[in-house]
Amino acid sequence: MMLDVAWWIIGVGLAFDLLGCVGLIRLPDVYNRAQAATKCVTLGTCMLLLGVAFVGFSGTSVPMGIKALICAAFVLLTSPVGAHAICRGAYLSGVKLWPESVEDAFGPRADQIQQQPTQKGAADREETKAP
């Protein structure tokens, strides 16, 4: 019974993984691809790990279940942060939005960031170069 529930959860997670990767192929620009793929694959992998945790707690091996839950927490914390960082880097490096995009909420803030003239690191390097 527990095993059936676990395999159903794993099956739904696999479907999410596959659909996220189809979105990575089909969508038009970086930002769309990043949001589709990241959300779907994060949820799918978390469901795979949850299914493994069910199998582990139902008698195979309790440490395996605990590790699966820890790993699910890590994936849930790190994957959206990584995708956000990449999208921010993509915008600041000048990748254009899809022409049919409706709203560009990060635009004014990006201009503000790019107009800041110096960075702390560059200033430090200038100081060390001076003498």
Partner 1 sequence: MSCLELIAFAVLLLSAVLCLYRIGRGPTAPDRAVSIDILGTLIVGFCCIMALATGRDYYMNIAIAWALISFVATLALAKYLEGRSYDA
Binds partner 1 (CB under 8 A): choice among 58, 71, 102, 115 = 71
CB–CB of 50/9 below 8 Å? yes
Burial class (CB in 10 A: 0-12, 13-18, 19+), 35: middle
Which of 54, 24, 28 has its CA nearest to residue 39? 24
- For the window 3-32, what string marks contact with partner 1 as x by the rule CB under 8 A? ----x--x--xxx-xx-xxx-xx----x--
Query: Using the rule CB under 8 A, is 48 a contact of partner 1?
Result: yes
Residue nearer to partner 1 on the CB measure, 2 or 18:
18
The nearest distance, CB 102 to partner 1, in angstroms, is 20
Q: Report the interhelical angle of 62-92 vs 107-115 (nearest 10°).
A: 70
- Token output for 16: 């999410």
Binds partner 1 (CB under 8 A): choice among 120, 127, 130, 131 = 120
The nearest distance, CB 130 to partner 1, in angstroms, is 18
The nearest distance, CB 30 to partner 1, in angstroms, is 5
The nearest distance, CB 70 to partner 1, in angstroms, is 6
CB–CB of 29/81 below 8 Å? no
